[in-house]
Amino acid sequence: MSSDIKDIKSDVIDLGITDRCCDATTGCEWDGSLRRVRPEPIFTQKVYDATLVNLQALRTITDQHFHPHLGRNARIVRVLDVRCRKFFNPENVNDPCNLKVDPDTVISGGDFVKDGKGNPIKVVGPSGLKDEKLIFADTSECDRKGKGTPVFGTQTVKISGDVLVEIDVLVSDGRRRRNKVTLTSRVPIAPRTNPIVMTNFFELCIPSVFDSAFLPRFAEFCNVNCEARIATNSIMRDITIDPNTGKVHINLIIAICISCEKKVIVPVQLCVLSTGFPVLSPEVSPICNTFPSLFPKQIDEHSDDSDCHRPRTFSEEDEIVSEDIIIDEEFDEFEED
């Protein structure tokens, strides 16, 4: 009995984690045969029009303090690598030190639909958040031509928060021994009270607002990263080391790189080709004989094992033929009498 319990525990604990990195598992498998491919209707959101804008800004940082301290009489012989990434505190999404991109857009040639109190109405987007605004414009003129209606926009992007800079250096200590050290520092880019502001202009095409049950939606999202370098690429000019305490101060130039995409989205129902639902294999050896399913089984006219079928819809020709058959059967019975 005890050996069985040990076997169960070993199966549960052994999760197959053998590497610091991993490959994702989608659960979608296809043997290449078209016999498993079936048409499926899905209700989703379609991108009607989109535009991409790349923005960049430079920030000069002087006398930035880095950790750790290098010790007495240490000196940096060579800079091996400089890395930069945005800072984010998962414990507090509203942390003012989080590197944040805040876009704000106004449009002409159309309007964002509001709730009567001046607040734009937002609907749920693919991210699961209410981050899409409804757009209305008089599209009647372009509707008659069978084309979309252009709207123009001005987007203001505000950047605030901090970045993390890591610098790999080759250090020689007081005994002239060399070793590799990684210096790190959290560098402020701009406070929320005085952010970096950039502006861009765009044009988007929207479909008819009269020939659809849904108004078109406007979605915008941005991502930001950073690139850092030693200010003048000179160790003598840009890096200062206190000979007594080993404190390191470095001059930097940080480039803020931003990508913003704006989309016009419409809800649609599409027919797509599918190989079926994803099927995942459990990682833990099962103790139970069966497990509950997470999604309902697909039952339609393509299901082979279904005994329930939708009643057939007869055409006019089918109805005429069936009436003839009934008349013939009644006539035969009359002759027998």
pLDDT digits (tens, 9 = 90+) for 174-228: 777 888 999 999 999 999 999 999 999 999 999 999 998 999 999 999 999 999 9
Tokens of residue 238, six digits: 């840009």
Q: Per the structure, how many domains does the chain have? A: 1
Helices (H), 121-252: 140-144, 235-238
Structure tokens that stand for 118 in this block: 């001046």
Report yes or no on 11 lying in a domain: no
Instruction: Return the ∠ at Cα 147 (arms to 144 and 153), rounded to 5°.
Output: 120
State how far the alpha carbon of 200 is from the alpha carbons of 163, 204, 222, 227, in Å. Answer: 24, 13, 13, 22
Q: Is residue 176 part of a domain?
A: yes
Instruction: With respect to residue 54, please indicate whether it lies within any of the assigned structural domains.
Output: yes
What pairing do the DSSP bridges indicate for beta strands 248-274 and 38-66? antiparallel
The answer to whether 198 and 157 are in contact (CB under 8 A) is yes
Residue 226: closest CA among 259, 250, 200 = 259
Q: What is the pLDDT of residue 187?
A: 95
Residue 93 lies in a domain: yes
Report DSSP state, residue 120: B
Placement of tokens 């790349």 in the chain? 54
- Classify residue 199: in a domain, yes or no: yes
Answer yes or no: is pLDDT of 154 > 70. yes
Identify whether 256 is part of a domain. Answer: yes
Whether 151 has a pLDDT exceeding 50, the answer reads yes
**Could you tell me if residue 184 is inside a domain?**
yes
Report the sign of the C-alpha dihedral through residues 121, 124, 130, 136, in that order.
negative
One-letter amino acid of 301: E
Span between the terminal Cα atoms of the chain, in Å = 82
3-class secondary structure, 329: helix
Tokens in use for 45? Answer: 């959101």
| Helix residue ranges per DSSP H, the chain | 2-13, 140-144, 235-238, 316-336
pLDDT of residue 18: 60
* Per-residue confidence (pLDDT) for residue 261, from 0 to 100: 93
Backbone angles phi, psi at 141, to 5 degrees: -65, -50
Q: pLDDT per residue over 85-140, tens digit each?
A: 999 999 999 999 999 999 999 999 999 999 989 899 999 988 888 989 999 999 99
Q: Read off the pTM.
A: 0.73
Residue 287's SS3 state is coil
Structural domain harbouring 86: 44-272
For the segment 288-309, the average pLDDT, to the nearest whole number, is 67
Residue keyed to tokens 């999604």: 295
Q: Is residue 282 part of a domain?
A: no
